[in-house]
Chains A and B, each alone.
Chain A
Amino acid sequence: MNWENVKKYKLAYLYIAPAFIVMGLVVIYPFVYNLTISFSDMNLLNFQHWSIVGFQQYIAVFTDPIFYSTLLKTVLWTAFNLFFHVTIGVSLAILLNRPLKYKALFRTILVLPWAIPQVIVALTWRGMFNNEFGAINLILKSLGLGMVDWLSTPVGAFAACLITNIWLGFPFMMVIALGGLQSIPQELYEAADIDGAGRLQKLKHITLPLLRPVMIPAITLGVIWTFNNFNVIWLVSNGGEPSDSTHILVSYVYKAIFTSYRYGYSAALSMVIFGILFIFGVQFIKRSKGTEAVY
């Protein structure tokens, strides 16, 4: 970067300056601040007079068995969610991608879970999972099935969070897949018909391979969002109930900040979460360049 260039693009820098000042204020500065705190011993009592203690907080993170169990739960949470988001979303897109009666109506209703504010979705599902008066158990009962202790057992509460998040996440994948399907040339299917290919063969050899490049960026975004999805876990399980058993990493950090006031430790754990996602993101960009070369 030389000074001549900077002068030449003065106007460009002027255009981006306001956005980057605000970003700097709210994103970059806190990031640097968080990084600093992560090397400190800051907590509620000493947060005016803290001191740098080196990697102590990171060591505390990596030697805590809860970190590993929570990480495992976060990975499972992300994998389950993405598996169902993509399977349901792509299936619905394939079903919708044909002349149908009431197609627009179906599409509108199926996008609904994505359109409703996430807070409302989470709080409403929490109500529906109520053991006694919630709709889910009432439906199970009317079907002659047993009632489930959703919110009062660790497995039940985690399942409740999972169901809520699967419900609100599949429309995004559906809409992306619909866009992808529309860009697949019709001739490919016609040629396959002439060759006598069946429905499953066309799905396996045309539709799914050609959807891949569209779905991979969407899945990457989905992984990042789901890994960090605080709202659903926190609001459905009401802050990790029962007894902090439903936490994923991000809600565990929140709890460490606002109920145990372990600021240094929390900051270090936030950095670790970011590190995990950053490595994932870089891997993705490398691999997607690989996929571009294939298609």
Chain B
Amino acid sequence: MATNKKDSTAYLILVYSMLIFMSLVSIYPVLRVINISLRPEGALLSTSLALIPDNASFDNFIRLFTESGFLIWLRNSLLVAAVVTTVGVTLASTAGYAFSRYNFPGHKVGMIALLTTQMFPVTMLLLPLFLILVKLNLYNSFLGLIIAYSATALPFTVWQMKGFYDTIPISLEEAARIDGANQFQTFYKIILPLSKPALVITALFSFMSAWSEYLVAAVILTKKELFTLPIGLKHFQANLASDWGLYAAGALLMSIPVVLLFMLLSKWLVSGLTLGSVKG
């Protein structure tokens, strides 16, 4: 619709005002959290709508680091997310390759099975998982959490990797085979280096889903020193009067890295999604 030469000024004003209105709606909650995080002690329950509070201070951030479990939760979250990322990239890059290159028996069933898992209500996996973890005594351990997270991100990342491999011409591999490389070498030395962009997206997607997950963690982890960031922050939220500022400061610190990553990646995330769903 580049034929906007004829667009009247009135129409353009309409376009801009709608965009500006929706942008305000989108950004307001963020500004609100920033405001609450900067409130000095004693002003947490202020009813002011000012953007920057009076007597703004970084007290909440200082308390967050010195008096709360935030740093421990941050470490837990980083640890879990890092392991999940490593496992996720390894599994998705190999499985996606098989789905892209080989028309093996079970190929179609496998791809559809991956899609079907997206329809499972979380409780269907949560109840058995909970019972199993209690029996195996993996309750209150990161191992159970890591296995659960690695698996839940897989359907999307496998589809995404397959979609990317599909765009790499097979002739590249055939050339390498003629030069004497075996099947594994062509994958390892030719395909993987070419797939760096897709691997980065898979890594970041795995990281982000582990970083932000609440429910499974809330069921598995009950000891405060084992909390990940989402449950830690929920814990603050229970006490509106005293911990509201801590919540806001923690929420900002937890969100900033993933929001930045997301902004950098949103284009590819969507192409992965549409490839996955359209080519099904």
Question: Which A residues form the contact surface with B (CB < 8 A)?
Answer: 1, 5-6, 8-9, 11-16, 18-20, 22-23, 25-27, 29-31, 33-34, 37, 47, 88, 91-92, 94-100, 106, 108-121, 123-128, 130, 132-133, 135, 138-139, 142, 167, 171, 175-176, 179, 181, 186, 189-190, 193, 202, 207, 213-214, 217-218, 220-221, 224, 228, 230-231, 234-235, 249-250, 253-254, 257-258, 263, 266-267, 269-271, 273-274, 277-278, 281, 285
The size of the chain B interface, using a CB distance under 8 A, is: 95
Contact flag A119-B154 (CB < 8 Å), given A95-B15, A189-B3: no
Interface string of B225-257 (1 = CB under 8 A from A): 000001001100100100010010001001100
**Which of B65-73, B91-99, B166-174, B193-201 lies at the interface with chain A?**
B91-99
The answer to whether residues A218 and B47 also contact, given A26-B151, A37-B127, A179-B270 and a CB cut-off of 8 A, is no
| A100 → chain B closest CB, angstroms | 8
Residues of chain B within 8 A (CB-CB) of A234 are 215
- The smallest C-beta distance from A125 to any residue of chain B, in angstroms, reads 7
B104 touches A18 (CB 8 A): no
When the two chains form the complex, which single residue of A1, A270, A277, A285 contacts B105, counting CB atoms closer than 8 Å? Answer: A1
Neighbouring A residues of B122 by C-beta, 8 Å = 228, 230, 250, 254
Q: Which residue of A lies closest to B184 (CB)?
A: A11
Contact of A123 among B94, B101, B233 (CB under 8 A): B233
Assuming the contacts A109-B26, A109-B27, asked whether A274 and B124 have C-beta atoms less than 8 A apart, the reply is: yes
B106 CB, min distance to chain A CBs, angstroms: 7
B104 close to A5 (CB less than 8 A): yes
Contact residues in B for A13 (Cβ distance below 8 Å) = 98, 104
Task: Say how far B205's CB is from chain A's closest CB, in angstroms.
Answer: 13
A16 and B30 within 8 A (CB): no
Across the interface, do A12 and B102 meet the contact criterion of CB distance under 8 Å? Answer: yes
Chain B residues lying within 8 Å of A135, measured Cβ to Cβ, are 28-29, 32, 49
Which of chain B's residues have a CB closer than 8 A to the CB of A33?
Answer: 128, 131-132
User: A16-B98, A19-B158, A88-B22 are contacts. A224–B119 as well, Cβ < 8 Å?
Assistant: yes
- Identify which of A112, A113, A231, A257 gathers the most chain B CB atoms within 10 Å of its CB: A112
Contact A12–B3 (Cβ < 8 Å): no
CB contact between B22 and one of A15, A92, A214 (< 8 Å): that residue: A92
